[in-house]
Amino acid sequence: MPYKLFRCSFEKNEPSFYLKLRERKNKLSLSYSSGHTLLILIIANYIKNINMVFVLLACIIWTVPYNHAINEILSSAKQYELFEEYDYDKDILENINILLNNSGLETIQLD
C-alpha cells in the first residue's frame, strides 16, 4: 500500500506534517489528506471499467467545502498515486486543470 490512511479530523494545535506544510506554503486550507477520499478510491478501484478521475472529481463535489478542502482531496489522490503531479506550490485551479488535461477532459478557464 503506497499510502497511509489518515483520519480526517484535525486539531489545530497538533503538530503534523501538513500543518508545517501549510505554514511553509502559505496555504489556508491544508490539513491532513482526506481519509474519506482514500477509502472511496480504494473501494472504487474494485469496480471494473471505472474512471478514477471521475471518482476523484465526485469526491471534490461531495466534500468541498463542508468537510474538506480541495487540497486535502488532491493530497489523497497524490498519495494514492492517481494524481502524482499535484504540486503544493501551484494554486488549486492550476492543479485541477493539470488533472483535467491529463485525463483528456476540458480545462476550466476563468475570464
Rounded to whole angstroms, the Cα distance separating 47 from 88 reads 30
pLDDT higher than 50, residue 62:
yes
Task: Give, in order, the Cα–Cα distances in Å from 47 to each of 14, 28, 41, 67, 73.
Answer: 37, 35, 10, 25, 20
pTM above 0.75, yes or no: no
Rounded to whole angstroms, the Cα distance separating 37 from 34 reads 5
User: Average pLDDT, stretch 54-76?
Assistant: 86
Cell of 73: 482531496
What residue spans define the domains of the chain?
A: 17-102
User: Average pLDDT, stretch 39-47?
Assistant: 91
Rounded to whole angstroms, the Cα distance separating 47 from 23 reads 38
